[in-house]
Structure 1
């Protein structure tokens, strides 16, 4: 949702984890999947989201592995703008003044304070050891959650059914996914390691919601964090060759000094992310 919106001039969102049921939807990563909305009009976007993400459609905590969502109905705004220095400023001198002016106007209009900090260093220096390694959390619990869901709910049923119907043959899976189907390691990734991955992800979420972006009596989040979705303020084109130009870029580039891409933060911590 977020990266396509970023390169198509639209709004797109990833809601807080568990905000919307995904019953009867083919899963990608069961406990990390969400459903968002594209829009060209911010008012219609907000109106639709307000009516779609209702408590009656929240996912069960048995699916997310997280505590139940608390979504206060408040018009209060965050008090702080978090400015992660490992993701911004942009690497486009023409785009940076536009971002700076936006931050200045927003902080002035809503009486907000701008807090500059290094996101990666803040996490890695946390007092809770289980949440300090961003790379390990992404390649460990998140990878297990996504891989086990894809295998147990999509790949394995497909392989077994195809084998039965077509004389033991392997299904014509796209090459990008075929290797994972053939080399799947059930010893390393299974229902037990999946359950442990949920515990580890929940520990990371609890830390994030306690120490970094936390709720207050006045608003659902004390702060809003601004970051670059991955283009650094440069265009990113569908035609691959065009992105080799110094004035363009490939999407989802890892900034220098950051452990994970900015777009990887909310899948890990279950937070809402809007482009």
Structure 2
């Protein structure tokens, strides 16, 4: 929504040296800038989230909006050292708050003994230009030796930590209304479908789609202050921002699944998927929904009608991000203001994008979460997983989000598995520089974690468990599992409900992307008996993985982990089809081979099916980056390299522990957002 100009007489006013300029307003809130830095845009909701009583005589100080900062503390004295440390931490932790919001300062004291400002703290208040100081009972009112303009009042309570706009209630000047400040950030990589802010009146969320006059082609996402974490320390994910793939229902937000027809037919969700609600209950903050291939059916970036695919920030900007969760992958790779993003993985839709953008990504064991309120691809393979840049956030989200799952083995992991299954039928990679990173990873696993590489031919190990020992039949069984369900649960339902809502004459308005068109057509040809037969094959394969490949172990949960490459062998693959014809490039393999392939599919090209058909957990681990010659820029650019690690079903905690120890030993590092995943000197 391009917000209409805010025509009120209070659209611009000055508060001491802080000037607030309201640019636009809507029913859901207003956008403003501060004159000190008009490059930063902010948003406040229309509804205040906190009301504070001024004790004593009423005041007209805040008849118009004022900037404010709020803190809560149990420390005394309130000294320069304490205040500097507090607000230095604010700067380090938060990208919304800055010192321009210090003109009004709320301080709440959370202990029974009294607190006081020492002389250095009093000097700090004046030096920082604080004009209004609001303190709760228990803090002694500071007395100054020299006259000043500082207005000091006692208040009943203070807002949570962070940046606020405050205003006196018209009917009661002793009542201050506080509005939380959101930063507005560009979605210039088209990762999002919509932004989201909490619906403070009705619960759930409100859709945003902000654009600004100076940059009308880019959506701006409202992001809240991270400082709320200081007020919610008991919530393990407090202060972390996340976005969710647009196949998960969130109350108040539309679910489109990459389809205009689906969004028109079903509109906004009335309830939030339990998997997403759990993250919110753990303290994480939802900021929006990310793009997906239509109905989460894997497709190439050029195969779209309704919504363009998100743009991978790595390298020259034209590398593919692959698969249906690519919007979530791009959001985490492009934006430092995102902490983790949610995707779904049926046959590689988290793992492959994570490898292509250079991020940590997890497909959990099948069945770890209830997938109510999620558009299905195949309920016997669908999982809800996530992306992040930081190994510590990876461990925290994994351990907390799936904590209540009955699928995950709860026995303590006393040590990591010692066997690293290394597939010689896939390695070495086509790019020798990428293979060097794999070899280094193997060496460090042995040196620091005593995990020893065991060369195997994975094709020979798993082929006996295919129907008639045929990979083509195994591949077809997987396709039938998804095609049958995607037609009956999505396609057939959409056409029926669209006609019921809009009439049969409007059916021609349904325009689908090429891959859903193909999958729906093929899905209509899959019979119930075909589906049952494919499901039987899958169950046999899953049992074989448990009984013959990833064996149980009393101390390590699983006796081994399996590594492989889920990307393109260290070669670049592009979002523009013709670019993949350049020397050194290759078209990325999703669920079928590229058009014009002269050879049939090879097992090593589809190792991602092992976890999908086996119900196994799998993590993507970024290792480093290599150079490639860009056909777009004509320069040598950098692209990320990652490796996959798979283990026994239910042994997800092995993967959390592996990532934790790899980070602890410095074997893996947090990746950065932007063109390059690593600072080159430390890659």
Q: Give the structure-2-normalised TM-score.
A: 0.36
CA contact (8 A) 1:155 1:181 kept: yes
Counterpart mapping for 1:1-275 below 5 A: 1-56=350-405, 70-124=409-463, 126=464, 130=467, 132-140=469-477, 142-164=478-500, 165-167=502-504, 169=507, 171-182=510-521, 184-185=523-524, 188-190=526-528, 192-252=529-589, 258=603, 260-275=605-620
> Structure 1, residues 208-233: CA drift from partner, whole Å, max 9, x if none?
11111122111122111111113112
Larger radius of gyration: 2
CA distance in 2, matches of 1:252, 1:214: 29
Return structure 1 stretches of 4+ with deviation > 4 angstroms.
128-131, 253-257
Per-residue deviation, 1:3: 1.2
Greater helix percent: which structure?
Answer: 1
SS across alignment from 1:12? strand
Deviation at 1:129, TM superposition (A): 6.9
Q: CA deviation at 1:202?
A: 1.0
Shift of 1:131: 7.6
Partner of 1:62: none
Q: Do 1:86 and 1:257's aligned partners in 2 also have CA atoms closer than 8 Å?
A: no
Once the 2 structures are TM-superposed, how far is the Cα of residue 167 of structure 1 from its aligned partner? 2.4
| Contact 2:487/2:524 (8 A) holds in 1 | no
Distance in 2 separating the partners of 1:40 and 1:83: 25
How much is the aligned-residue C-alpha RMSD, in angstroms? 2.5
Check the 8 A contact 2:351/2:361 in 1, yes or no.
yes
CA distance in 2, matches of 1:129, 1:264: 12
Could you list the runs of 5+ residues in structure 1 that have no partner in the other structure? 59-67
The farther-off stretch of 110-119 and 37-46 is 110-119
Superposed displacement of residue 22, structure 1 = 0.9
Q: CA deviation at 1:184?
A: 4.3
C-alpha offsets along residues 24-73 of structure 1, whole Å, 9 cap, x if unaligned? 101011110011111000111111111111234x5xxxxxxxxx654433
Gaps of 5+ in 2: 1-349, 594-599, 621-683
Aligned residues of 2:361 and 2:385 also touching (Cα < 8 A): yes
**TM-score, normalised relative to structure 1:** 0.84
CA distance in 2, matches of 1:230, 1:144: 24
Q: Distance in 2 between matches of 1:93 and 1:32?
A: 34
Bigger strand fraction: 2
Matched length: 260
CA shift, 1:196, in A, is: 3.5
